[in-house]
A and B are shown apart, each in its own frame.
Chain A
Amino acid sequence: MTPPSSNRHDVRLENVIKQFGGLTVVDNISLTVKGGEFFSLLGPSGCGKSTTLSMIGGFENPTSGAIYLDGEDVSRQQPYKRDVNTVFQSYALFPHLDIFENVAFGLRRKGLPKAEIESRVKEMLDLVDLTKFTRRKPGQISGGQAQRVALARALVNRPKLLLLDEPLGALDLKLRKQMQIELKRIQSEIGITFLFVTHDQEEAMAMSDRLAVMNNGKIEQVGTPAEVYDHPATEFVASFLGASNLIPGTIVQRKADTVQVKLEDGALVTLPAAALQPGTGNDVKIGVRPEKFHVLAPAENAEPGWNMIEAKAGVSVYLGVSRQYMMESKTGRPLSVYAQNSGRSEDLAHGETVRLAWNPAHTFAVKAN
């Protein structure tokens, strides 16, 4: 079989399955990461994202399926022959070598001339702002610095693809935010394809051009952060990426561009037909993000064409930028509502009845399980 043509530095996974002793860890994944893209694999621990990364890096062989790098089938290629480098979660810096030698390790193995190694390592240490630490040992630098060494050590080889396995997991929050921006900057400067694995949805959204949400060894959805957040394809994606209010209902009317759904509490809501996944039956759950709700007084009317349900305010948490309410629908279903702290509305009392209105365009629908 000749592999289909693809662009330079593309990574393509085709029906990749990985089993460990009868347990399917990666379940038939097909995925294309475009050259120069910052792509994230996002999912809870144990969803198979790290195993997927290991297979692309060459540390595990797929049970079946194929992995193409630049159109070349590398599924069974040894990791040390693969033009892919990894930033490991534990950094895995060589403790007996100084920072310079850690970074130079890959280039020395490739047998590059000494002068070239020297200049490329220096250039890379400059890029990650570590020139002052060249002669230190990994034990003598901080976690954030070690993280940058791990990055430099991988990038200096100018791989076709850089794999990052939860590289920021060990850093504290502030440093993590800094490194997120730093990683983005470096990626756009050098233009290498980044494949980033994380369980932190905020991190994935902040950094990725596109991301894939994984669960139970399967890819649930692939798209830009905005696509995946605004139009989650499954209930899992809706709840894993940010908070969601999911309300069961039945489709009562299908038109060319809109669909009408009768919710469990009897309210009729409209949503764009495009929000419905093809082949969805009549039993659905409609979803609204907590920040999309507008809180109205009990008798107040929403803007024409908007959806509206009734709810009762419960406890609230003040978060500064917003106030987060726990509310209850008429059927007792808990709802989460964020009210912007814009100074335009007063805080709701516990038990107060309100109307929640939202723009139909901000509605999504997933299959009812």
Chain B
Amino acid sequence: MRQLRGILAPYLLSLPSWVYLLIFFLIPLGSMLGMALAVGNPLTGYTMSDNFSIFGQALSSFGDSFIRSFWYGTASTIITLAMAYPVAYWIAFYGGRHKSTFLFLIMLPFFVSFVIRVLAWEFILSDNSFVLGPLKEMGILPEKFRILSTQWAVIGGLVYNSFAYYVLPLYVVLEKIDRRLVRAANDLYASPVTAFLKIILPLSAPGVFAGFLLVFVTNVGDFVNAALLGGPGTYMIGNIIQDAFFLNQNYPMAAALSSMLMLMLMLAILLYSKTFGTDTIQEYAA
């Protein structure tokens, strides 16, 4: 009996986590997949079916939105990385006593509601805003020039909103890097640039990797930026799902699209980890 308890103990101890996962993850996931295959409408209720053709239908109708989402997600994540890395590097290496102040300043805009922040950008970028208006009057920009409703407005919004989420993981890894390693690299004939490429960059790879996943996954599924800053030509898959759910109340289609987005993201992450796993990155550094 005592022996049996010894064997069961780890399982019993992890039971609360399993229950949690079951209630908040597995059941919703299962019901979402079930909903994708269901037929019916909100008024008469739903019955299960084997309507697998809904996935093909989703892909043929909204394939371009999928592609657009992945393109916006990739572009915005790369731009965010390019912008966040120098900032995180600067705070970690030159922030001195004020490191936490700088990090706080980066987090500060996030105390304002997400939607308000995006609306502010809509205001700033609008065709005759206080930014574009004077530039057009002075003839620096052509009268027809616009940012709002273009894909760059959406990508810009995504970059703006994910900036802090990329700075933080980068800061964490950069902060941990022993400065004396740079000195050692300099001692071993590495110029400051080489020392960065061979030592700092590979050692910060885990942060680049983690931040990329965090930002990419969030941005691919985003719909607020596209809805507020984009136009008819910038519909992301998030917008399609939102419309299917709230506007058309086509729950099976919304569920099918969500499941497919999830699957695609998982495949993308898998591929990404295989190619750019931190071990691989560090091996290249040699």
Using a CB–CB cutoff of 8 Å, the interface residues on chain A facing chain B are 57-59, 78-81, 84-86, 88, 90, 92-98, 101, 105-106, 109-110, 153-154, 157
- Inter-subunit contact B184/A110 (CB<8 Å): no
- Inter-subunit contact B189/A157 (CB<8 Å): yes
- Inter-subunit contact A105/B186 (CB<8 Å): no
Nearest CB of chain B from residue A5's CB, rounded to whole Å: 27
Find chain A residues with CB under 8 A from B5 CB. Answer: none
- Inter-subunit contact A96/B202 (CB<8 Å): yes
Docked Cα-Cα span, A97 to B203, in Å, equals 10
Interface range for B? 20 to 34
Given A90-B180, A96-B203, A85–B286 Cβ distance below 8 Å? no
- Inter-subunit contact A92/B186 (CB<8 Å): no
- Inter-subunit contact B187/A97 (CB<8 Å): no
Kindly report which residue of chain A lies nearest to residue B182, judged by CB atoms: A92
Tell whether B183 is near chain A: CB-to-CB under 8 Å.
yes
Given A80-B191, A109-B194, A94–B199 Cβ distance below 8 Å? yes
Q: In residues 181-198 of chain B, which contact A (Cβ within 8 Å)?
A: 181, 183-191, 194, 198
- Inter-subunit contact A153/B286 (CB<8 Å): no
- Inter-subunit contact B184/A88 (CB<8 Å): yes
Docked Cα-Cα span, A198 to B26, in Å, equals 62
Tell whether B107 is near chain A: CB-to-CB under 8 Å.
no
Find chain A residues with CB under 8 A from B180 CB. Answer: 88, 90, 92
Kindly report which residue of chain A lies nearest to residue B283, judged by CB atoms: A96
User: Chain B: interface secondary structure?
Assistant: helix
Nearest CB of chain B from residue A228's CB, rounded to whole Å: 29
Given A95-B203, A101-B286, A80–B190 Cβ distance below 8 Å? yes
- Residues 145-164 of chain B, each 1 if its beta carbon lies under 8 Å from chain A, else 0: 00000000000000000000
Find chain B residues with CB under 8 A from A59 CB. Answer: 183, 186-187
Tell whether B259 is near chain A: CB-to-CB under 8 Å.
no
Give 17 CB contacts A-B under 8 Å: A58-B186, A59-B187, A78-B186, A80-B189, A86-B184, A86-B187, A88-B183, A90-B178, A90-B180, A92-B180, A92-B183, A94-B185, A95-B203, A96-B285, A109-B188, A153-B188, A154-B188
The 4 closest A-B CB pairs, nearest first, are A92-B184, A106-B188, A109-B189, A96-B282
Docked Cα-Cα span, A190 to B227, in Å, equals 71
- Inter-subunit contact B187/A85 (CB<8 Å): yes
Docked Cα-Cα span, A109 to B194, in Å, equals 8
Given A92-B178, A97-B286, A101-B286, A106–B183 Cβ distance below 8 Å? no
Pick from A59, A80, A86, A90 the residue with the most CB of B within 10 Å.
A80
Nearest CB of chain B from residue A311's CB, rounded to whole Å: 50
Docked Cα-Cα span, A258 to B203, in Å, equals 66
Docked Cα-Cα span, A13 to B94, in Å, equals 32
Nearest CB of chain B from residue A8's CB, rounded to whole Å: 21
Kindly report which residue of chain A lies nearest to residue B195, judged by CB atoms: A80
Docked Cα-Cα span, A110 to B189, in Å, equals 7
Kindly report which residue of chain B lies nearest to residue A156, judged by CB atoms: B188
Docked Cα-Cα span, A166 to B282, in Å, equals 30
User: Besides A81-B189, A109-B188, 5 other CB < 8 A contacts?
Assistant: A79-B186, A86-B184, A88-B183, A105-B198, A106-B189
Given A96-B282, A97-B285, A105–B183 Cβ distance below 8 Å? no
Nearest CB of chain A from residue B193's CB, rounded to whole Å: 10
Kindly report which residue of chain B lies nearest to residue A82, judged by CB atoms: B187
Nearest CB of chain B from residue A152's CB, rounded to whole Å: 12
Find chain A residues with CB under 8 A from B190 CB. Answer: 80, 105, 109
